Amino acid sequence: MGKALVVAWGHEFVDEVVDALGDAAVDVVVGKPTVAQWRGAPLVLVDARVQTLAAGMPAHPCMVVVAPEKLDGDRLAAAYRGWQAEYPEVPVYHLPTGAQAVRQLVAEAANGQAAEVRVGVVGGHGGAGATTLAVALGLVAAEGGRRTLLVDATGRGGVDDRLGTPAEGLRVVDEPFKPLRPVDRFAADVKVVDLDRALEAGQIEVARQCDLVLLVANVQRNVAATRWVAATLSEAGVRWALVPTWMHDKAGQELASEFRVRFMAEVPLEPPSIFSDGRVHLLDRCCLLDLARDLLRAAPYAAARVAA
């Protein structure tokens, strides 16, 4: 498709980004780019220190913000909050931690192809709603025309019990013992794995291969159980984020802060009439499906975003 555009405030930032990208070719503008340069780039990388570089520019489908290494601590947190206030869907990467993710985005922009998305979902306790969210993710991905693989790794048949609307392009596989096998074997644009919260060896193996694992929980009422799952994921090096079942879960916010992970939007499991038969259906307007769409868009980037 073309070269990514680096929009920088100074040459020092350009040098740091170019070093992080290795041999990837990019176009560089120091200062404000023209609208034509902005629109013509398949991917725009903006210096996190100066939000005015993007001010007044048209919306770009592939814009990311890159923070240099020396922007850290409170200054990094403040920059992150500022970008999220104005551009909530734009991911923020901090170098050198996010260098690999940025390199991948630049390569995809050059090739005109996006890598497959892998999302894991696990409950922090029984009845958290993890399987419901996993099914919603699979349905909205397939509805959007993407080849989708939904792996039930729990061994309890929960996916079949929740799947309400047949969706063309959605393949469902039941594999509780070696869930990484179908993930590696079957070609798909989006791969969703419903993980068992016991997180035994096979579960951890596939969790590590996910772009992001979503831990669904009402932490306030299930602190000990959810903490165990959170600690297991972190100790195994899994990229994960906490998805609460209610937004005012103070214990959940504290847990996310403790493990330095994102506290995502709540899972809207109410009103129950949306799935009165216990199944998830594709509806024109549904908060659960809207959340699933947002999570799929964020999954490749969310783990690399700055936790603030």
Same domain (yes/no): 12, 82: yes
CATH number at residue 260: 3.40.50.300
**Domain end call among 88, 111, 134:** 111
Which structural domain range is residue 32 located in? 4-111
For 3-72, where are the E strands, in sequence order?
A: 4-8, 26-30, 44-47, 63-67
| Model pLDDT for residues 71-81, shown as the tens digit of each residue | 988 999 899 98
| CA-closest candidate to residue 81, choices 280, 305, 282 | 305
d(CA 151, CA 196): 11
Same domain (yes/no): 160, 236: yes
Total domains present in the chain: 2
User: What pLDDT was estimated at residue 225?
Assistant: 97
User: What pLDDT was estimated at residue 207?
Assistant: 94
Q: Are 176 and 200 in contact (CB under 8 A)?
A: no
Which DSSP category does 74 fall into? H
**Per-chain mean pLDDT for the chain:** 85
Average the pLDDT over each of 160-169, 195-204, 272-281 and give the range with the smallest value: 272-281
Same domain (yes/no): 164, 126: yes
pTM higher than the cut 0.85: no
Q: Tell me the mean pLDDT in the region 189-207.
A: 91
| Model pLDDT for residues 107-127, shown as the tens digit of each residue | 888 877 556 788 999 999 988
| Model pLDDT for residues 48-102, shown as the tens digit of each residue | 999 999 988 877 778 899 999 999 889 998 999 899 888 877 888 999 988 988 9
